Structure formats: structure tokens, C-alpha cells
Amino acid sequence: MAEEAKRRLFRMPQGGAISWRDLFFAWWPALLFAVLGFAVAAMFIKPAPPDRVVIATGAMDGAYYHFARRYAEIFARYGITLEVRATSGSVENFKLLADEDTGVDIGFVQGGIPAEGETTDLQSMGAMYYEPVWVFYRGGETIERLSQLKGKRLAIGPEGSGTRKLAIAFLQANGVAIPDMKGGNLTGEAAARALREGQLDAAVFVASAQSKAVAGLLRERDIRLVSLVQAEGYARHFPFLSVVTLPRGSIDLKQDIPAHDVNMVATTANLVVRDTLHPAVVNLMAAAAKEVHAAPSLFSAEDKFPSSRDVDFKMHPHAERYYKNGLPFLQRFMPFWAATLLDRMLVLLLPLLAIVLPLVRVLPALYQWRIRSRIYRNYGELKYLESDVANAADHSKTAEFYVRLDAIEARVNRLRVPLAHHEQLYMLRWHVDLVRTRIAKLSAPVPPAG
């Protein structure tokens, strides 16, 4: 009997170090939650930044086009092509941006161009620089008010330009008729040439001081610049305007150009983007704008621009954050492509941190419980059997007890558990043999007393 018990006790089932079946059943909820988490996170991942972006500017000899070419050089450092598209100006740019089918992602829009109450899905990158309103004229008469332009041959820019829209607003406010002459739609170098040659009496430009046409006219002896005595009044009537001063000698000290301070009004050149533009491109555009426009100019101190003030659209949050805090953390230490890739991958890591990691701490215990539960389940049946044996009055149920015990032992022998749990399995077998011994004693004859 002892040899049989020993044989049963040390008969081991084939068991590996890990129960892959139990491991799967313990871990499948974590895998399911992880897959669902990644699927949900994937819905919020923006695609990779585009390798080509289109910016709408203005005439090829204008400041918008010049600055856009500088942006393109900066974009090229990061492997992105910024296509510079020449247009007639701000009004056309605004329409191109508002129409999703044009393919334009970014555009220069002069301050005051959008109609009041006009809603779009566009956002601002901020004001880039002042665009003064330059009014040049010929002749000996001193012009200080735009109402004095009545009856003169006047160029106010082409259809679709911000210059024309602003000039018309000024002329109408002064009761001056809109010019219908052939040269009325001239702008840039063409308007400057016509003014020099006497084909025009006056011309309006809305441009930076770096404009070739403006710079050339400032040095012409026969061409004069209007100093507005009503500059403050214009700023009150048109809230998007600022009063600026061109100081005496600021163009050329030696030749004393201009010969006196010139009172002017200025709008701002705004960079506007679609709200669907990739955030990484927005950050890159903000960096390019900062590099190009932060330097001091005739009308602004260093770092005044780019600015979130004097804008007609809601500021893009990424641009506003860049102007306050600089480059995003990852782009400060990594190449642009690597930073944007990692930034996208971080979204996928959220399910890992929020779901998988907590489950990883719980699942080992769940795995252990699943293995032990198979052993403890047999312990429960063995305990009931042992209790019935202890309460038996005679050996009449011995055969039934042996059948129940053999069934339990058969299940125990079929158990497959990892090696780490074999000690508990051995103990279970030992207890099976212990109950078998008690059943045997129940059926054994009772020795006579004395």
C-alpha cells in the first residue's frame, strides 16, 4: 500500500514552465483593450506632414512674393516644398483660401480685407509687418488730404488687390470718384513708371518699405509723398489701421530723404492658413515668419512682429504657442521629420500607458489565480468527500467513496500546471492518498476489544 501511495505521489504529468493556454485566457482581455485603445487613438492621429504646401502671395515684384520666396528657402531646409503662387493680391488670396478646391494652404491677406461678420474656416498666423499706405504724386502743389486728389489721374491697383480695396474705401470717404481711366489699375513697378513718365498724377501703394516701387519713388525729385494731416482721423474711421511716422532722413541721411517727418497710416500684412493645415507645418511656418520678420524696420522695433494683435481671424493655437514658447519640445532636440514622427507615435503610446500598463500589474495575479483555481477546485471536492467519509457510520458506502475518489484522482492526474505550481499539485496528490487511507481504515475490520 505504501509503495502504491509513493508511486501515485511522484507520478508527474508532462508540464512546461508556462501554461500558454492559461496565459492566453488571462491576457486576452488586456490584448483586447489594447487593440481597442490603439484603434481609438489611431482616429486622432494626424497624417504625416505634407511634403508640398502652396502659399498665395501677390505680384511677382511685390513684397508678398519676396517674403514668400524667403519662407520657401527655410521650408527647403526641412525637406518641404513651399510653392509660391503669384496672384493679384489680398482679395484674391482670401478667395483662394476660402475655396478648398484651389489647393492654396497659406496666403497673405491685408488687414481689413475680410468683410465684417464674414465667417470662414481660416486662422491667422499673426500680423507679419506694417504695410503703410503710400500716396505719391507729381506737381508743385502740396497735398496733405486725399480729397485734393479729386480730378487727378490716379492708379489704385488691379482688381483683386488689397491696395485697390483700401484705396476705394479712402476715396469714397473723401468724396473722390473712383478712377475709370486705363492706368487706374496699375500697381508696383508699372504704376511707378507711369507716374515718373507723367502718365499719372498720383498713385496709391499699400506695401512695405522694401518694395522696389516705393524705394525708387522715394528718391525721385519730382515725385512727392503725401503726409496725411488727418492720419489720426483715418485710424478712428478704420479700426484696422495704425498711425505711423516715416522719420526725416530715415531713407537717406546724406540726401535728407525724406526732408521732413511724414505722417502715414498703415495696415498689417497677415499670414492666414486653413484650419486643416498640419500642425507641424504651422509650427514651421511660424518659425519661418519669426526668422524673416523679427528684425527691426523703419516702422517697428525688433521682435514687434510677428504679432497676434491687429488680426482679422482667430489666431491659430499652434502659432500663438510658438510665439510665446518657441519650438515644440521635440523639435528643439531632433530633426523635423523625426520630431513629427515621434509626436504622432506618442498618441499611440497613450493606450499603452493608460490601459496596458495597469493591466500588466494585475494580470500576473490573474494568471496565478487561474492556475491555482484548477487545483483548489479539486481540493473542494476532496474536502466534501473527506467529510462524508468522516461521518460514515459503517463501511456500506466504501465502494461509492472509492469511485468518487478515483474520479478526483483521475482529474488530478490530468492536470497540467507550470513547474512553479508542482509543489501544490504534489500536496493535492498527497491529500488524495490521505483520504484513500481513511477510506481503507473505514472498511478494515475493527479488532476485538481487550
Asked if residue 357 and residue 224 are part of one domain, the reply reads no
**Do 284 and 143 share a structural domain?**
yes
Q: In this structure, are 32 and 61 located in the same domain? A: no
Q: Is the pLDDT of residue 41 over 60?
A: no
**Looking at the domain assignment, is residue 270 inside a domain?**
yes
Instruction: Confirm whether 266 is domain-assigned.
Output: yes
Burial 335-356 (b: 16+ CB within 10 A, else e): ebeebbbebeeeeeeebeeebb
- How many whole angstroms separate alpha carbon 63 and alpha carbon 302? 19
CA distance 449 to 346: 84
pLDDT of residue 447: 55
* Res. 9: pLDDT tops 70: no
Q: Residue 320: give its domain's CATH number.
A: 3.40.190.10
Specify the pairing of strand 154-155 against strand 202-206: parallel
89 and 18 in a single domain? The answer is: no
* Parallel, antiparallel or unpaired: strands 106-110 and 52-56: parallel
- C-beta of residue 47 within 8 angstroms of C-beta of residue 341: no
Residues 199, 234, single domain; the answer is yes
Q: Same structural domain for residues 70 and 32?
A: no
Task: Examine residue 389 and state whether it is found in any structural domain, yes or no.
Answer: yes
What does each C-alpha distance from 318 to 125, 281, 291, 415 come to in angstroms?
Answer: 9, 10, 17, 61
- How would DSSP label each residue in 19-58? -HHHHHHHHHHHHHHHHHHHHHHHTTPPPPPPSEEEEE--
Percent with pLDDT over 90 in the chain: 41
CA distances from 103 to 55, 71, 217, 360 (A): 9, 18, 36, 47
Distance separating alpha carbons of residues 371 and 75, to the nearest angstrom:
60
Q: In Å, how far are 145, 157, 231, 242, 307 from 209, measured between CA atoms? A: 21, 17, 18, 16, 18
Domain end residue (candidates: 327, 358, 385): 327
pLDDT of 347-383, one tens digit each?
A: 666 666 666 667 667 666 766 777 777 777 777 888 8
pLDDT in tens, 58-82: 988 888 999 999 999 999 988 889 9
Nearest to 88 by CA among 164, 4, 147: 164
Q: Are 71 and 22 within one domain?
A: no
Count structural domains, the chain: 2
What tens digit of pLDDT does each residue of 186-234 get? 988 999 999 999 999 999 999 988 888 999 999 999 999 999 999 999 9
H/E run at residue 398? helix 398-414
Residues 6 or more apart in contact with residue 26 via CB below 8 angstroms:
363, 366, 367, 370
Calculate the dihedral angle through the C-alpha atoms of 438, 443, 448, 450, rounding to the nearest 10 degrees.
Answer: 0
Higher pLDDT, 235 or 37: 235
Domain end marker among 327, 357, 381: 327
399 pLDDT band (50/70/90 cuts)?
A: confident
Confidence of residue 398 (pLDDT cuts 50, 70, 90): confident
Q: Is residue 47 situated within a structural domain? A: no
Domain hosting residue 374, numbered range: 2-38+349-443
Confidence band (pLDDT; 50, 70, 90) for 5? very low
Q: Position 444: which residue type?
A: A
* Confidence at residue 412, expressed as pLDDT on a 0 to 100 scale: 80
Under the banding of pLDDT at 50, 70 and 90, the label for residue 13 is very low
| Pair 240, 233: CB distance under 8 Å | no
Check: CB of residue 75 under 8 Å from CB of residue 53: yes
Q: What is the rounded distance in angstroms from the CA atom of residue 260 to the CA atom of residue 290?
A: 32
Asked if residue 436 has pLDDT above 90, the reply is no
Q: Which residue has the higher pLDDT, 421 or 145?
A: 145
Strand blocks (E) in 345-426? none
Kindly report the backbone phi and psi dihedral angles of residue 53, in degrees, each rounded to the nearest multiple of 5, phi listed first. -135, 145
Rounded Cα gap, residues 447 and 393, in angstroms: 17
Any domain includes 340: no
Asked if residue 413 and residue 322 are part of one domain, the reply reads: no
Q: Does residue 386 share a domain with residue 292? A: no
Residues 281 and 388 in one domain: no
How many of the other CB atoms lie within 10 Å of CB of 229?
10
342 assigned to some structural domain: no
Residues 243-273 have pLDDT tens digits of 999 999 999 999 999 999 999 999 999 999 9
Pick the residue with more confidence: 420 or 94? 94
Looking at the structure, tell me whether residues 158 and 207 fall in a common domain.
yes
**CB neighbours of 121 closer than 8 A, spacing ≥ 6?**
274, 275, 276
In a domain, 161, yes or no: yes
- Clarify whether residues 22 and 117 are in a common domain: no
**227 or 330, which is more confident:** 227
Query: CA 356 to CA 361: how far, in whole Å?
Result: 9
Q: Output helix, strand, coil percentages for the chain, rounded to the nearest 5.
A: 50, 15, 35
The more confident residue out of 382 and 153 is 153
pLDDT band at 163 (very low <50, low <70, confident <90, very high): very high
399 found inside a domain = yes
pLDDT tier at 1, thresholds 50, 70, 90: very low
